[in-house]
């Protein structure tokens, strides 16, 4: 099929939804294409995840987000963004993956797993949660290794290594410990991450101090084996008995999709894509970026709360070009 639209939005996360709302408000002919479920990244968060931001900072288009807690949790966010979507009849195709974006004269051809689309403008809002940062060590492809964490129950009574010292690593370590798992943290730096949620950090520091959770700082995994993990520590190489490894070492945007589209990047190794800060337009005329993808590998720069404004910037600019 060949389908014509004025605007194709890639990604149905919170910022993709914000872009769809802005298009709807201007009566633009748009479509959102999402490779997974609605707000797929939030859906893949741990079941008990709590946001750092308060609910009002996660709101879209001044639609109230009511939470019973000071900080909303994953389920509340899923419900909020779903209701925003359904109540406003936003046009979204789910479970359809964009394979390529091609600029052809004055229009774009967007090739997906289900159809080809022709659009005057394209907005990429795909976040950074789809591609895990790997350890690149022998054994990382073993079935016992995971780069995403959902819940603690499967790890009860098991020897679990958690790699990293970020929010996701700390949350996983604490939850698994409290469900009866034997947790060892492997941390490249010399301390728990500075960005760990302030109400959680004292908990993990105290559990490590009392010995409930073992932590090896300034350490790295060298090899993952069926029944153990080889770790390089300041005191030498050690062999730790192990059933599961959670390599929660971060995630990155789909850089390949941006490269194929012709977007330029910074030369500092951070793969920060080029875009105009006033319009969010890239070096490709008519191709825009929105949300956390604007940070490249610097995934701590943009969040829902500070990138919600991208949608209105983009729509303001592209409506003068249609």
71: left (phi over 0), alpha (psi -120 to 50) or beta: beta
pLDDT in tens, the chain (322 residues): 789 999 999 999 999 999 999 999 999 999 999 999 999 999 999 999 999 899 999 999 999 999 998 999 999 999 999 999 999 999 999 999 999 999 998 899 999 999 999 999 999 999 888 889 999 999 999 999 999 999 999 999 999 999 999 999 999 999 999 999 999 999 999 999 998 999 999 999 999 999 999 999 999 999 999 999 999 999 999 999 999 999 999 888 899 999 999 999 998 988 999 999 999 999 999 999 999 999 998 888 898 999 999 999 999 999 987 7
Q: What was the pLDDT predicted at 170?
A: 96
Q: Please state the length of the chain.
A: 322
Which listed CATH number (3.30.2310.20, 3.40.50.1950, 3.40.50.1400, 3.50.50.60) goes with 2-131+251-318? 3.50.50.60
Asked if 41 and 19 count as a contact pair (C-beta separation under 8 A), the reply is: no
- pTM for the whole thing? 0.91
Radius of gyration of the chain (CA): 21
Q: What was the pLDDT predicted at 322?
A: 76
Q: What is the distance between the alpha carbons of residues 96 and 88, in angstroms, rounded to a whole number?
A: 21
- CATH number for the region 134-247 comes to 3.50.50.60
Say if 2-131+251-318 and 134-247 have the same CATH topology.
Answer: yes
Cβ-based neighbour number of residue 193 at 10 Å: 16
């Amino acid at each position: 099929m060949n389908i014509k639209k004025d605007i194709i939005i890639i990604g149905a996360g919170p910022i993709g939804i914000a872009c769809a709302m802005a298009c709807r408000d201007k009566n633009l002919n748009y479509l959102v294409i999402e490779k997974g479920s609605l707000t797929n990244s939030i859906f893949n968060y741990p079941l008990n995840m709590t946001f750092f931001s308060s609910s009002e900072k996660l709101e879209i288009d001044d639609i109230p987000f009511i939470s019973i807690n000071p900080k909303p949790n994953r389920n509340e966010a899923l419900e909020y963004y779903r209701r925003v979507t359904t109540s406003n009849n936003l046009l979204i195709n789910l479970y359809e993956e964009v394979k390529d974006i091609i600029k052809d004269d004055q229009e774009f051809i967007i090739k997906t797993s289900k159809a080809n689309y022709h659009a005057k403008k394209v907005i990429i809002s795909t976040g950074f949660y789809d591609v895990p940062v790997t350890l690149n060590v022998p054994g990382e492809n073993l079935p016992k290794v995971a780069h995403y964490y959902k819940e603690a129950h499967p790890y009860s009574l098991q020897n679990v290594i958690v790699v990293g010292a970020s929010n996701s690593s700390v949350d996983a370590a604490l939850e698994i410990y409290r469900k009866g798992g034997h947790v060892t943290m492997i941390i490249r730096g010399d301390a728990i991450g500075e960005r760990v949620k302030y109400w959680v950090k004292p908990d993990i520091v105290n559990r490590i101090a009392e010995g409930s959770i073992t932590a090896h700082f300034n350490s790295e995994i060298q090899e993952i084996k069926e029944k153990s993990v080889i770790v390089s520590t300041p005191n030498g190489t050690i062999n730790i008995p192990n059933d599961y490894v959670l390599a929660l070492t971060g995630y990155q945007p789909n850089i390949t999709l941006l490269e194929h589209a012709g977007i330029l990047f910074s030369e500092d190794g951070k793969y920060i894509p080029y875009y105009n800060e006033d319009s969010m337009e890239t070096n490709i005329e008519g191709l825009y970026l929105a949300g956390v993808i604007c940070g490249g590998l610097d995934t701590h720069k943009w969040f829902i709360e500070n990138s919600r404004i991208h949608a209105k910037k983009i729509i303001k600019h592209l409506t003068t070009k249609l």
